[in-house]
A and B are shown apart, each in its own frame.
Chain A
Amino acid sequence: MEGELAHIGAGLAAIGSGAAAIGVGHVAGNFLAGALRNPSAAAGQTATLFIGIAFAEALGIFSFLVALLLMFAV
């Protein structure tokens, strides 16, 4: 029984991946919106873009880790 519950929990943890997708899309979309208004400033901000994406994505990776732990470690 506990094994099945862990699998359900792993599936629920996958919701976090979708949430991280929203976050990453938000960062990239807003960067693009800003870059199209002022293309000359865009090149200097790609580093900031990647840092923002990395931070947004980290939490999605955490949820993936929770899923993996539930599948293989619990």
Chain B
Amino acid sequence: MADEAHGEGGGLSFHPMDQFEVKPLFGGGYDVHWYTITNVTLWLALAILAIIGLMVLTTSKRATVPGRGQSIAELMYGFVYKMVEDVTGKDGIKYFPYIMTLFMFILCANFLGLIPMSFTTTSHIAVTAILGFGVFFAVTILGFVKNGASFLGLFWVSSAPLPLRPVLAVIEIISYFVRPVSHSIRLAGNMMAGHAVLKVFAGFAQVAAIAPVAIIGVMAIYGLEVLVSAIQAYVFTILTCVYLKDALHPHH
């Protein structure tokens, strides 16, 4: 896909989408099997290590007066805890560990992807679809386990006038099954679009006449991307909370 962009003298010397290529770490080529250790594997592992470093190592001393690292860890914990409590209510607190894990993983993966020359794992739909469908199946199974067949009341809006309810049921069912798709594509799309824009602006910097504008543009967009990374992790988590609330209390 990138061949025609290469070798145009003075034009883009790299394609903005090149950064999303999955490559094996060892032994070149593009031959990727399920067991191949690729750059995705590396950056997913680094995200896990970053979470362990932030959440486990800094809090291992359990200081009464927290240091810098422990303060950050406690702030994160309190932030997600309050979000779960506000959106799902008291009986959603049981599922806090899952939501905290999702939040920390997406946040760390997004932030690691912002390091220059790194690889953004969350820009791949394969990664976010696993997260999104995981939430979808967990929430659907949980809804049926907790409420039995009355979970289907989620699709039967009892507050609407009777003739309208079948129409609403169709809309509700469609919107329910679109959830995992939009949930995962939102994260992947935001990450991919932002990083592609960064690379496009970096490409403009090669043209001397507009280089200062391009460099200022890259800086501004980089700042925006830091914001977007945090907001998308927040949005993914809060939507998980909303879906969880629907599963626990399916009646409108």
Proximity bits, B212-235, A CB within 8 Å = 1, else 0:
000000000000000000010011
Knowing A58-B182, A72-B1, the reply to whether A50 touches B238 (Cβ < 8 A) is: yes
Which of the candidate stretches B41-49, B59-67, B185-193 sits at the interface with the other chain? Answer: B185-193
**Contact, CB under 8 Å: A50 / B234:** yes
B167 CB within 8 Å of chain A: no
Proximity bits, A49-74, B CB within 8 Å = 1, else 0:
01101100110011011001000100
Q: Which residue of A lies closest to B234 (CB)?
A: A50
Chain A residues with CB below 8 A from B231, complex form = 50
How many chain A residues touch the partner (CB < 8 A)?
13
Tell me the complex Cα distance, A33–B193, Å: 30
Tell me the complex Cα distance, A57–B185, Å: 11
Q: Which residues of A contact B (CB under 8 A)?
A: 47, 50-51, 53-54, 57-58, 61-62, 64-65, 68, 72
**Contact, CB under 8 Å: B86 / A47:** yes
**Contact, CB under 8 Å: B185 / A62:** yes
Q: Which residues of B contact A (CB under 8 A)?
A: 1, 17, 83, 86-87, 182, 185-186, 189-190, 192-193, 231, 234-235, 238-239, 242
Return A23 CB to nearest CB of chain B, in Å. 14
Tell me the complex Cα distance, A58–B187, Å: 9
* Other-chain residue from A51, A65, A68 in contact with B239 (beta carbon distance below 8 A): A51
Q: Is the interface of B mostly helix, strand, loop or mixed?
A: helix
**Contact, CB under 8 Å: B17 / A72:** yes
Knowing A64-B189, A72-B17, the reply to whether A47 touches B83 (Cβ < 8 A) is: yes
11 A-B pairs besides A50-B234, A51-B239 with CB distance below 8 A are A53-B235, A54-B186, A54-B235, A58-B182, A61-B185, A61-B189, A61-B190, A61-B193, A64-B193, A68-B192, A72-B17
Knowing A47-B238, A50-B238, A51-B238, the reply to whether A58 touches B185 (Cβ < 8 A) is: yes
Knowing A47-B83, A47-B86, A72-B17, the reply to whether A65 touches B238 (Cβ < 8 A) is: no
* Other-chain residue from A51, A61, A68 in contact with B242 (beta carbon distance below 8 A): A51
* Other-chain residue from A47, A51, A65 in contact with B189 (beta carbon distance below 8 A): A65
**Contact, CB under 8 Å: B87 / A47:** yes
Return B19 CB to nearest CB of chain A, in Å. 14
**Contact, CB under 8 Å: B186 / A61:** yes
**Contact, CB under 8 Å: A54 / B239:** yes
Q: Which 10 A-B pairs have the closest CB atoms?
A: A61-B189, A58-B182, A54-B235, A58-B186, A72-B1, A61-B186, A64-B189, A50-B235, A64-B193, A47-B238
